[in-house]
Every structure is written in C-alpha cells, then in structure tokens.
C-alpha cells in the first residue's frame, strides 16, 4: 500500500502578498500543510505539480521553502509556467535532483525519477519557457521513453504541470499541448503507467489519455471557475482549498490498483460538521 498526496498551483508571491490582489495564497498553503500533517494514514510522499511561485522570484521560493519544512513527509517538485526553473533549483538546493536534471538537460528541463517507493514517481517537465501553455519536445519525449523502458514492470505515476488534452474550459484550451499525440502514443506503449496527474487547471478533472487515466489536481491558491460556455474567458474563484490523494492498494481479489480521491479542506467558512452515520443502508426488500 502507498498513499501519495498531490498539491498544485500554490502561487506564492514576492512578499507573500495576495495573488492578483485577492487570493491569500500564503494562508492557503499553511492550511494545506496543516491538513496533510493531520491525515491518518499519513502520506508517504507529497508531489507538487507546478506553479509553486506566482512570479518565479527567489523571495517567493524562500517563503514556500520555509513553510514546506513543516511537512512531516518528503515532497517532490516539478515546475509550472509561473516558475523560474533555476530560481526553483537554487531555492531547494537540498532537492539536488532539480539542479542535476537541469544540468543534464542543458538547462532545458527538470525531469527525474523517484524509485524508492512501491509506485515509481516520474516528475515530467512540460514548461516551455516564456509561454503559458506547455508541451514536450523531442528530447523530453525520448528521455521519458527510455526511462519507462528501464523499469517496465514497476507501477508508475507521472506528475507534471500542463494537461495534455482539452479540458472543456475554453479559456484554458486555446493553447494546445505541444506534441500531445506523440505523448499519447508513447504512453500507450508502456502499460505500467497507472496514472498521469497534472495541475494548471486549478480544478479536479479526470480523463482517459493514451492507455491510462489522467487526473488534474485542484489548486492550493485558488480554483478555476467552472464555466463550460464557449464565449467566456477563464477566471478564478475562491472555492475551498483541496488536493488529491492517490492510494495504491489491493482490491478484493488482491489486484493492486491506484485510486484517486479529492480531499477538500473544511475551513472556517465551510462548517460541515463531523461525519454522520448512515441508517437503513441495505437494499429494501
């Protein structure tokens, strides 16, 4: 069994000020860290799928780094379009896989593996520097193909920032994921992939992609407004903070599978109360 928490789109600003003058992302991150530390069972690891900073500044990463020291479990980072990769690697120097990946790729990408758990974790960089949208160039696709081929029997979770398919939120679908079709074909060749999970959309979303399941994590800093009309620009809304829990466990027949739950935090403005018991739960005769 393994429990993996995923948080995404933190959007801490220089000075810790509200993002876009509205979203208190600093308090939201503190809230998430507290909730993660209270979980029982405790996650073995936390994956952070990009937009750690809102502006890519060293000051913002210093704030995030200080707060993340309060986590009671290891965490792993991958960049988003708001992140400055070198500043990220410098700020988290103890996460030496960041600087190593940048050096090995000639400064192009932060791609790496974590092989110490029952589920193999692959951090995949989808950021195109200077762009809002993302994708995978040939070098990153080649790296991923070789990396997956090295351990074809181990269950694998890929975490990255950008969604490689449409979201049905038109304001976020105007920038196609570069090499999406090639990525899907690559995924279909490797049946050990249990999940691809992303950020960027600030909403819990699920889809089929290639031969596997794709999920998207809610945002820590704010949520994307769910509006499926075709003429509406994307905007954010201050819904409750939430994150994903990926649970690797055995089914009734002993088959291992990866389940994904969305965990919404009960904050001071959302008083849902303690869990209540169901009654009359059997099928009526």
| pLDDT at residue number 283 | 58
| pLDDT at residue number 2 | 97
Whether the link from the prior residue into 41 is cis, omega within 30° of 0, is yes
147, 256, 245, 126: CA torsion to nearest 10: 20
Q: Which residues of the chain have pLDDT under 50?
A: 268
Tell me which residue of 135, 136, 116 sits closest to 76, measured CA to CA.
116
Q: Is the pTM of this model over 0.95?
A: no
Q: What is the pLDDT of residues 77-115, one digit of tens each?
A: 999 999 999 999 999 999 999 999 999 999 999 999 999
Q: What is the pLDDT of residues 108-153, one digit of tens each?
A: 999 999 999 999 999 999 999 999 999 999 999 999 999 999 999 9
Q: Is the dihedral of CA 77, 127, 64, 3 positive or negative?
A: negative
What the chain holds in terms of domains, given with CATH numbers, is 2-264 (3.60.21.10)
Query: What is the C-alpha separation between 166 and 173, in angstroms, rounded?
Result: 6
| pLDDT at residue number 270 | 52
Query: What is the C-alpha separation between 134 and 128, in angstroms, rounded?
Result: 6
HSE of 268, CA atoms in CB hemisphere, 13 A: 3
Q: Is the dihedral of CA 256, 257, 260, 261 positive or negative?
A: negative
């Amino acid at each position: 069994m393994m429990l993996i928490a995923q948080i995404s789109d933190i959007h801490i600003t220089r000075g810790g000020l509200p993002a876009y003058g509205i979203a208190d992302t600093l308090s939201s991150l503190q809230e998430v860290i507290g909730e993660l530390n209270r979980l029982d069972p405790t996650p073995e690891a936390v994956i952070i799928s990009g937009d750690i900073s809102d502006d890519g500044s060293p000051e913002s990463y210093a704030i995030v780094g200080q707060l993340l020291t309060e986590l009671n479990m290891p965490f792993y980072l991958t960049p988003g379009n708001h992140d400055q990769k070198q500043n990220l690697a410098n700020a988290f120097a103890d996460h030496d896989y960041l600087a190593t990946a940048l050096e090995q790729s000639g400064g192009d990408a932060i791609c790496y593996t974590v092989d110490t758990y029952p589920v193999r974790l692959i951090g995949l960089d989808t950021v195109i520097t200077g762009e809002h949208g993302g994708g995978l160039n040939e070098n990153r696709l080649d790296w991923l193909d070789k990396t997956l081929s090295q351990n074809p029997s181990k269950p694998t979770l890929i975490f990255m920032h950008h969604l490689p398919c449409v979201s049905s939120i038109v304001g976020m679908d105007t920038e196609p994921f570069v090499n999406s079709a090639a990525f899907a074909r690559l995924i279909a060749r490797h049946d050990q992939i249990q999940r691809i999970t992303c950020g960027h959309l600030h909403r819990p979303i699920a889809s089929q992609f290639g031969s596997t399941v794709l999920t998207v994590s809610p945002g820590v800093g704010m949520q994307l407004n769910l509006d499926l009309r075709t003429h509406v620009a994307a905007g954010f809304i201050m819904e409750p903070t939430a994150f994903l829990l990926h649970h690797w466990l055995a089914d009734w027949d002993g088959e291992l599978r990866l389940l994904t739950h969305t965990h919404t935090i009960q904050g001071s403005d959302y008083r849902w109360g303690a869990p209540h018991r169901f009654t009359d739960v059997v099928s009526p005769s």
